[in-house]
Structure 1
Amino acid sequence: MLFACAVPTLRIEQPSDDASLEQWRHVHNTIIPTDPLSLDEVRERVRRNRLAVAYAGDELVGCSTVRPPNDETTAATVIVRILPAHRRQGLGEQFYEHELAEARKLDADGIETIILASNTDGLRFAESHGFVEFERYVLPGDTIPFITLRLT
């Protein structure tokens, strides 16, 4: 006999105050410990990009960034981060689909994502959704590269 587990529906919100920006920052800094951000840096990012936080019920499960095309790239960038305790439950899939729809509203010639090389779950997810690596870079003073992937 097979039993289907229902995937909780995510509540996705754009951070609107310091408390929700701090939640976004917490997820980012947990997933990207090599490049932690201050609250002031997150405040600056929310002016340039679409940031979102995701909850299953009242529990924080992830954050995202959707960057519009800019002087460096004509692609939109979609980055979805799910806290390790909430992975492999279908939450990343819901969040990714939502944020991908947001990115597709932008005037972009493609979709990219950026993942820290040590985040093997994130890389596996991106590759299973059609993303292909096309660039690696290391921030000054770091040893773990970021991988830029493009949706094919």
Structure 2
Amino acid sequence: MPVSRLRIERVADDAFAADWRHVHNTIIPTHLLSPEDVRDRGRRNLLDVAYLGDTLVGNTTVRPPTEEEPAATVIARVLTAHRGRGFGRELYAYALGRARELRPERIETVVLESNEAGLRFALKQGFAEFERYVLPGDTIAYVTLRLP
């Protein structure tokens, strides 16, 4: 396995939370999160940020399985300026490893429908589309994909 080029940090303080929020809000402009939203997500999910040296590159989210939803959801986001350099694969592999440690029944990912590069990436990683849904007040669908 290649040596990681990225420094991946768990969101454990306000500075990492602000960086995680910046990546999320840049890539998902239809669902902007406040600092409190990120704190809430951090209580339910595993959040990480990735840097190349000191430069913010992306983030990951792993939603653990629950009794009601036995799937773990893995999300890897890379800022546009850093795409096409293998960072998405690296972040995805990292998040997938964290998800598998939780022993879910299945693994899913969610991509904003308008993020064509993200959808192509998920399909290349072996995910298959499962469903599309629109959150109340939104106009762009989210696409849920599952690993077979």
TM over 0.5: yes
Pair member with larger Rg: 1
The SS at the match of 1:63 is strand
Specify the alignment match of 1:20 in structure 2: 16
Specify the alignment match of 2:121 in structure 1: 125
* Conservation of the 8 A alpha-carbon contact between 1:8 and 1:91: no
**Distance apart, 1:72 and its partner CA:** 4.0
- Structure 1 residue runs without a partner (length 5+): 1-6
The SS at the match of 1:140 is coil
Count of matched residue pairs = 146
User: Where in structure 2 are the equivalents of 1:63-102 lying within 5 Å?
Assistant: 63-102=59-98
Counterpart code for 1:140:
P
Question: Against the structure 1 CA distance between its residues 95 and 59, is the aligned structure 2 distance closer, same or farther, given a 3 Å change threshold?
Answer: same
Q: Within 2, Cα distance between the matches of 1:86 and 1:8?
A: 15
Q: Within 2, Cα distance between the matches of 1:8 and 1:85?
A: 19
* Conservation of the 8 A alpha-carbon contact between 2:4 and 2:90: no
Q: TM-score, normalised by structure 2?
A: 0.95
Q: Within 1, Cα distance between the matches of 2:139 and 2:21?
A: 22
Q: Within 2, Cα distance between the matches of 1:140 and 1:44?
A: 20
Specify the alignment match of 1:138 in structure 2: 134
CA RMSD of aligned residues (A): 1.3
Q: Within 1, Cα distance between the matches of 2:67 and 2:131?
A: 17
**Distance apart, 1:38 and its partner CA:** 0.2
Q: Does 1:58 align with 2:60?
A: no
Specify the alignment match of 1:4 in structure 2: none
Counterpart code for 1:15:
V
* Conservation of the 8 A alpha-carbon contact between 1:8 and 1:56: no
Q: TM-score, normalised by structure 1?
A: 0.93
* % identical aligned pairs: 60
Q: Within 2, Cα distance between the matches of 1:19 and 1:62?
A: 14
Picking from 92, 95, 105, the partner of 1:109 is 105
Specify the alignment match of 2:45 in structure 1: 49
Specify the alignment match of 1:33 in structure 2: 29
* Conservation of the 8 A alpha-carbon contact between 2:49 and 2:58: yes
Runs of 4+ in 1 over 4 A off after TM superposition: none
* Conservation of the 8 A alpha-carbon contact between 2:64 and 2:102: yes
Q: Within 2, Cα distance between the matches of 1:138 and 1:71?
A: 24
